[in-house]
């Protein structure tokens, strides 16, 4: 976020498709924080993982569920602490239709290639 220094605010809304209950039991969101470089490759800054099992089960049971904004630890590639990120998540249960299967709005940052 240009001009925001070390305290950027994204306030982004992302939409993800989830199959719940699915074949696995490890429901999680992993957020990777990258910087943006104009002339060189973007740099990986850190990542955090949020386990959302309860969010999904309560959302399915009640039709929706809000997970309040919480501070999560960011870890660098070497596993060391490198900062914090605040994330709030809302799950809304919606039936998927045939038209939704090719929805380009599903997912996150399409330019991310960090593994």
Give 14-36 pLDDT, tens digit per residue. Answer: 777 777 777 666 788 899 988 88
Under 8 Å between Cβ of 50 and 69: no
Residue 110's pLDDT band, with cuts at 50, 70 and 90, is very low
Centroid of chain to Cα 72: 12
The Cβ of residue 27 has, within 10 Å, a number of other Cβ atoms equal to: 18
pLDDT given at position 21 = 75
Q: The whole model's pTM is what?
A: 0.68
- Is residue 113 scored above 70 in pLDDT? no
Query: For 64-74, what is the mean pLDDT?
Result: 92
Distance in angstroms (rounded) separating the CA atoms of residues 43 and 114? 9
pLDDT given at position 10 = 76
């Amino acid at each position: 976020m240009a001009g925001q220094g070390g305290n950027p605010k994204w306030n982004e809304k992302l939409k993800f498709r989830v199959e719940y209950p699915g074949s696995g039991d490890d429901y999680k969101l992993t957020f990777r924080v990258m910087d943006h470089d104009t002339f060189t490759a973007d740099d990986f800054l850190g990542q955090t993982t949020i386990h959302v099992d309860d969010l999904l089960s309560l959302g399915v049971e009640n039709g929706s569920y809000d997970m309040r904004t919480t501070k999560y630890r960011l870890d660098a590639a070497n596993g060391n602490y490198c900062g914090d990120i605040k994330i709030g998540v809302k799950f809304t249960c919606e039936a998927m239709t045939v038209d939704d299967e090719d929805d380009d709005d599903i997912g996150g940052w399409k330019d991310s290639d960090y593994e």
